[in-house]
Chain A
Amino acid sequence: MTESKAASGNLARLWRVRGSLSRRSYLVIASLGLLSPLVLWLWVVSTGKIDAVFMPTPLSVLSRIAEWYQADNLLGDAWISIYRVSMGFLLSAMLALPLALMIGVYKPVQAFFEPLTDFVRYMPAVAFVPLVMVWVGIEESAKIAIIFIGTFFQMVLMMAEDVRRVPITQIEAAQTMGATPNEIIKLVILPSAKPALMDTLRVTLGWAWTYLVVAELVAANSGLGYAIMKAQRFLQTDKIFAGILLIGVIGLAMDQAFRWLHRISFPWMYRK
Chain B
Amino acid sequence: MTDKIHITGLDKVFGVAPNTPKALDGILLNVAANEFVTLVGASGCGKSTLLRILAGLEDRSAGQIIINGRPVSGPSPERAMVFQHYSLYPWLSVMQNIKFSRNLRTGRENLSSSDVEIASGRADALLSLMGLGHVADHYPNQLSGGMQQRVAIARALMGRPDVLLMDEPFGALDAQSREVMHDLIRHVYALEKATVVFVTHDVEEAIYLGQRVVVMAPRPGRIDSIYTVPLPEKREQDMKHVPEFLALKKQILARIRETSGMKTDFDMLEQLTRKNQPDASL
Interface residues of A (CB under 8 A from B): 167, 169-170, 172-180, 183, 187-188, 191-192, 194, 266, 268-269, 271-272
Q: Which residues of B contact A192 (CB under 8 A)?
A: 89-91
A177→B77 contact, CB < 8 A? yes
B80 in contact with A176 (CB, 8 Å): yes
Contact B89 A178 (CB under 8 A): no
Sort A-B residue pairs by CB-CB distance and give the 7 closest, nearest first.
Answer: A178-B77, A178-B106, A268-B139, A175-B75, A169-B87, A173-B87, A176-B81
Q: Can you offer 28 A-B residue contacts whose CB atoms are under 8 A?
A: A167-B86, A167-B87, A169-B85, A169-B86, A170-B88, A173-B87, A173-B88, A173-B155, A174-B104, A175-B56, A175-B57, A176-B75, A176-B76, A176-B77, A176-B79, A176-B156, A177-B104, A177-B107, A178-B75, A178-B77, A183-B103, A187-B100, A187-B103, A188-B89, A191-B89, A268-B90, A268-B91, A272-B142
Contacts of B142 in A (CB 8 A): 271-272
Instruction: Write the chain B residue with the least CB distance to A194.
Output: B91
Q: Tell whether B46 is near chain A: CB-to-CB under 8 Å.
A: no
Nearest-CB distance from A14 to chain B (Å)?
A: 27
Q: Nearest chain B CB to A54's CB is how many angstroms away? A: 53
- In this complex, the member of A175, A187, A272 whose beta carbon has the largest number of chain B beta carbons within 10 angstroms is A175
- Asked whether A176 and B139 contact (CB < 8 A) given A167-B86, A191-B89, A268-B91, the answer is no
- Taken together as a complex, chains A and B put the C-alpha atoms of A26 and B79 apart, in Å, by 50
Beyond A174-B104, A271-B139, 20 additional pairs, beta carbon < 8 A = A170-B88, A172-B83, A173-B152, A175-B75, A176-B76, A176-B165, A177-B100, A177-B104, A177-B159, A178-B101, A178-B104, A180-B105, A183-B104, A183-B105, A188-B89, A194-B91, A266-B91, A268-B139, A269-B141, A271-B142
B217 within 8 A of A: no
With CB as the reference atom, state the residue of chain B lying closest to A191. Answer: B91
Q: What bracket does the count of chain B residues touching chain A fall in?
A: 20 to 34
Q: A271-B139, A272-B142 are in contact. Are A173 and B83 (CB under 8 A)?
A: yes
B55 within 8 A of A: yes
- Taken together as a complex, chains A and B put the C-alpha atoms of A187 and B85 apart, in Å, by 19
A244–B227 alpha-carbon span in the complex (Å):
76
Beta-carbon nearest neighbor of A173 in chain B: B87
For A178, A183, A266, A269, the residue with the greatest tally of chain B CB atoms inside 10 Å of its CB is A178
CA A146 to CA B159, docked complex, whole Å: 52
Q: Is the CB of B104 within 8 A of A172?
A: no
Summed over the interface, the residue pairs from A and B with CB atoms below 8 Å come to a total of: 85
Tell me which of A173, A175, A268 has the highest count of chain B C-beta atoms within 10 A of its own C-beta.
A173
Residue of A nearest to B167 (CB): A169
**Contact (A179, B57) CB under 8 Å given A169-B83, A173-B87:** no
**Is B104's CB under 8 angstroms from A170's CB?**
no
Q: Which residues of B contact A175 (CB under 8 A)?
A: 56-57, 75
Q: How far does the alpha carbon of A23 sit from the alpha carbon of B34 in the complex, in Å?
A: 55
Closest CB in chain A relative to B68 CB, distance in Å: 15
Chain A residue nearest to B84 (CB atoms) is A169
How many angstroms from the CA of A174 to the CA of B165 in the assembled complex? Answer: 14
Assuming the contacts A173-B83, A271-B142, asked whether A178 and B76 have C-beta atoms less than 8 A apart, the reply is yes
Least CB distance, A230 to chain B, in whole angstroms: 48
Chain A nearest Cβ from B183, distance in angstroms: 25
Complex formed: what's the CA distance from A25 to B1 in Å? 71
In whole angstroms, what is the CA distance A178 to B74 when docked? 10
The 8 Å CB contact of A176, one of B57, B90, B107, is B57
Cα-based distance from A177 to B79 in the complex (angstroms): 8
CA gap between A183 and B142 in the complex, in Å: 26
Contacts of B103 in A (CB 8 A): 183, 187
| CB of A92 to closest CB in B, whole Å | 25
A270 to chain B, nearest CB (A): 10
Closest chain B residue to A187, Cβ basis: B103
Nearest-neighbour CB distance to chain A for B136, whole angstroms, equals 14
Q: Which residue of B81, B91, B106, B107 is within 8 Å of A173 (Cβ)?
A: B81
Residues of A within 8 A of B141 (CB): 268-269, 271-272
Q: Which residue of A lies closest to B83 (CB)?
A: A169
Q: How far is the CA of A192 from the CA of B86 in the complex (A)?
A: 12
Complex Cα spacing A178 to B89, Å:
16
What's the Cα separation between A23 and B234 when bound, in Å?
54
Cα–Cα distance between A177 and B83 once the two chains are bound (Å): 13
B112-134 CB contact bits vs A (8 Å, 1 = yes)? 00000000000000000000000
With a cutoff of 8 Å between Cβ atoms, the chain B residues found around residue A268 in the complex are 90-91, 139, 141
Q: Is the CB of A170 within 8 A of B55?
A: no
Task: Give min CB distance, A91 to chain B, whole Å.
Answer: 28
Q: Which B residue's beta carbon lies closest to that of A186?
A: B103
Contacts of A173 in B (CB 8 A): 81, 83, 87-88, 152, 155
Q: Given A176-B55, A176-B80, A271-B142: A170 and B106 within 8 A (CB)?
A: no
Query: Which single member of A172, A183, A187, A191 contacts B87 (CB below 8 Å)?
Result: A172
